[in-house]
Amino acid sequence: MKKNVLITLSAAFLILLLGIFWYYGTGTDVHIAEMNASPIGVHESGQLDIVLQNNGSMPVDVWIEAENTYVGSDGVAHPNSGLLIPSDSEDPWDVNFVSHETPIHLLPGNNSVSVWIGYVLPGEYPVKVKVLGDGRILDEGTYLVEIPTPEIPENLSLKLEYEIESRKIESRNTSDVYRIYGYLINKGSGSAEDIPVNLTVTDERTGELVFASSELYDVGEYTKTPLWTWPDYPYAVVEIAHGNPSGESYMPVKNVVVGKSGDRFLINVSSTWQNGSTSAELLLPPGEERR
């Protein structure tokens, strides 16, 4: 009797061992072979490239979990924000490919998958990647993404230019319309956000401030950023009416000054940022030197 019980227990234990061996020994065998990311800066999107090695002889489906792939301006990581980009995706934004709920089909050998990453602030961000399958974690790893502090531009300048158009309002009334265009130019490296550009228009004869406005602009390295907002419309308009004004609003242009014959306006744009300041000006109508 005792011998039979012993044989039964031994057989059960052997079956258990075989089951464990089959589950873990012949189950899904996937490992993270490599992770790499190209350098990116703040407010830039990039991708973490992951090589998954399927050591089995058959294709398998796995899931990816990635943490710390996107961190906002509050320093808080958004969970499951790193959209997946499998290697067989023709369109990286196709919802059929980027869902975390969709398994990734791995062929035997090395397979590639990528995860979108992006960070608002500079710093070091450990991206934690988990590979899941068969109801368990198959492998996990961490890749450190380094976001450098942006270089502040040192060589910014402002430029103003204009076009003139003469309009006949009535048989005896005409207006000279000056369309003003401006640029914030970065002739060097570095980038910055929210660079203030202030516009002032003063009466050249009296020195009285006629108009003022201010806008914020972003600049990249070696760029020429237009100051106007709307395509095909100028940054500012100055109308000199020889008689009655035209009455035109010049929308959507917001920087508009209307004067009469004999008026002259000094248009000035200026900017001050962390590393310096710059300005540019126009005198309209042109022709005479400033008093």
Mean pLDDT by 10 residues, the chain (291 residues): 58 56 63 94 89 92 90 79 58 51 86 90 94 91 93 89 81 85 92 92 96 94 92 94 88 95 96 89 78 37
Show the CA angle centred on residue 42, arms to residues 36 and 44, nearest 5°: 65
C-alpha distances in angstroms, 29 versus 60, 63, 282?
9, 13, 71
- What integer pLDDT is reported at residue 156 of this predicted model? 92
230, amino acid identity: W
Show the CA angle centred on residue 177, arms to residues 262 and 185, nearest 5°: 110
pTM of the model: 0.59
Domains in the chain with CATH codes: 29-147 (2.60.40.10), 156-284 (2.60.40.10)
- What integer pLDDT is reported at residue 291 of this predicted model? 37
- What integer pLDDT is reported at residue 289 of this predicted model? 42
- What integer pLDDT is reported at residue 240 of this predicted model? 94
Phi-psi region of 185 (alpha: psi -120 to 50; beta: other; left: phi over 0): beta
Phi-psi region of 247 (alpha: psi -120 to 50; beta: other; left: phi over 0): left
Place of tokens 């531009």: 153
Look up residue 15 and give its two tokens: 């079956």
- What integer pLDDT is reported at residue 95 of this predicted model? 46
- What integer pLDDT is reported at residue 91 of this predicted model? 53
